[in-house]
Structure 1
Amino acid sequence: MPDTLHVLNGPNLNLLGTREPEVYGRATLADVEAACRAACERHGLGLVFRQTNHEGELVTFLQQAQGSVGVVLNAAAYTHTSVAVADAIKAVGLNVVEVHLSNVFAREAFRHHSFISPVARGVICGFGIEGYRLAIDALASSLADRRVS
């Protein structure tokens, strides 16, 4: 069984492609999943891909990711509001890359604060769905570095 990477998506990402396409693009969540699956396959990784509109369910998904290679997390609005999501990341010691489709720093001021960034390995924003592939590549690279050591 290959090492598994989790890609977790928060509220309203199920509306990708139709929700504010000038901000989030025209790609759908199915397009994101296909891109993530292809990136994981290139690295020999299994993929768990999930989306939820519920904060508690996102916390459960994070807990279930314990022991995985890592998590690509687009917590969407929960990035700016959820201590519970940040606590879940810390509680299970996850290797997380925070991803945002848009450049949150070029948007409203409330989007400039993240509860996740302080507990994440890194942050990628502003590259659309390409950010997910970049995050997967980064996590796969860190896994390869650990295997060599």
Structure 2
Amino acid sequence: MIKIRSRRAKSATAAGALLAGLLGGVLAGAPSATAAAADSPCSYGAYLYNKVTNPTSYKYVPYATGDGSKCWLDWGMSNTAVRALQKNLNSCYGYRLATDGDFGDLTESALISVQKKVGVRADGDYGPNTRDAMAWANYSMETGARISCN
């Protein structure tokens, strides 16, 4: 018997909802806790520049089209947004994850540990609450080297 992971089911539900919407269908049901707190999956890693507090650095964070501050990632996803999360887990929290963009068991385990450390719900799903609580690496615009994590 094969056990389907709840995160895969949630991702499949989100994909199904998107497909149903594109086909004009209707999908009934309550959104998951992650989906309720976040609008859409993070789709890419974005270079965010802070022109006010440090105009010579940037942060590389998971982002989505539209309002990127309300996106989510979870197990089974694969894209550059996952790569941005992995890079930050390595840079600011000392993990040695492959930055392959695949949200698998090791990325989930590292994220759960960080969620416990920063005091948010340790469910292994990345969303706005986790993003806001995590430290993010600042990189030099000139050299690309990591300056600090905050």
TM-score (norm 1): 0.29
Higher helix share: 1
Q: Report which structure shows greater RCO (CA 8 Å, sep ≥6).
A: 1
TM-score (norm 2): 0.29
